[in-house]
Amino acid sequence: MGNTNKMKSNSLNMAKGLLLILFVLSECTSIPDVGGFLAMFCLPALFMAIGSAFDTALLQNKTKFIKRCFRRIYIPFVVFALIFLFLHNLLSWIGVVSHDSIYTWAKGNQNAWSIVWNMSGFDEEMCGPFWIFRALFLGSVSYLVIYSLCKKLSYFTDEKEVRWAVVTISALLLIWQVLSGVKVTGVDGGGYRELMALFFMACGALYNIYRNELRINWIWILVLMMLLVASYLLMPAQLEMQANIFETLKLLLPTIAAFLLIDTFTSLFDDESAVKQSLRHVGSRAVYVIACIVAGLKIASMLVIAFSSAAWTELEKTNVVKIGDGFSFTDILYFIFGLGFPLLVCYIFNKLDVRYHMDFAKIVEFIVSLLKFILVTLFKFVVLLFHFIVDLAKGIASVIRDFWKASNPKDD
């Protein structure tokens, strides 16, 4: 049983790794059909793959689940978003990006506040895909809340019924939000993408229950591939900030078909080859890889701008190559850095973990602890400085008072 669960986990991590590679390709290509086809299913299928990792033991340990969400999603988001916020002003100051977009002290503080308290406020131009962090965090926590409530109801007798109930409730919430146009308070963009993440993670968690029972043969693979291609040709769609009910429904078929194909493909290979290990390594660190993808694409943009006539202000875009220009060397450059930089970072931290037992999560925790230490030290310094100023003021006041008394003696 343990070996089966490990193989399932490895396969799902490989699926997440492959989906992240396809996501990079969709972001860096200048060929409209390739980018549009991959963007149609990459992120929704990634949400399904992440939801597939929600096993019963993890969901029943609520404290561990919440801590895991904070440690693996929220804290990395805050750290990376604040770093990019600082880099935005640094690049604006040296003229790499538009100087007009530099954040003032008030604006920077407001953005930092929004980053910490509602996972917004990050630089939309420099790190637009960071909304994925918020969707993952809110979707995961919402799934746990709905799952726990359904679990307490005696109406649902087994795990399958509970997970079906979560899918149904998340679908109803999504439909209600789309049809009514209601905006989820405190969620940047209104909450549509977050509800989509919740729904697809619920679908992935449900799929995890039936995964061992499904038998997808080559006929089914061909059918799924034809459905995927037909969906793009007849009803192309993407996961937008907001959509109507028809655009929402158009995402269901290609997402499910793509996820089944990718999971079937990755489940066929579970040996210890370098490719499989790399996919599993990337998939198991999906959140960190997304941040590194953004950084890698920016590095590629710097190289493209440096060796072309493009303005440095173009760095604010994800891809400085215009869509529709056709395949070029810059596409390869973006793909190499968009994928190679995350792989390089993962490789370095994997070596650090093996030698010093220091992985990506521990590095982030160390950075958070360091920031906490700096803030506490700064606070103590401010308190000491305040007391020093107060004592100094009291001393000066005492000297002035004594001098005043000495210079104005009372008549005997």
pLDDT at 309: 67
Low-confidence ranges of the chain (pLDDT < 70): 1-9, 29-30, 95-101, 269-275, 309-329, 349-350, 352-365, 408-412
What are 125-159's pLDDT values in tens digits? 777 788 999 999 999 999 999 999 998 887 888 88
What are 263-281's pLDDT values in tens digits? 888 877 655 666 677 777 7
pLDDT at 325: 53
- Cα→Cα distances 69→204, 205, 211, Å: 17, 16, 24
pLDDT at 1: 45
Structure tokens at 337: 């850095």
Q: Which residues contact 387 (CB under 8 A, 6 or more apart)?
A: none
pLDDT at 412: 46
pLDDT at 324: 46
22, 5, 6, 1: which is closest to 279 by C-alpha? 22
Q: Which residues contact 216 (CB under 8 A, 6 or more apart)?
A: 224, 260, 264
20, 24, 21, 80: which is closest to 50 by C-alpha? 20
Task: Supply the DSSP string of 293-332, one letter for each residue.
Answer: HHHHHHHHHHHHHHTSS--GGGGGSS-SSPTTS-S-HHHH
Whole-angstrom Cα distance, residue 119 to residue 97? 24
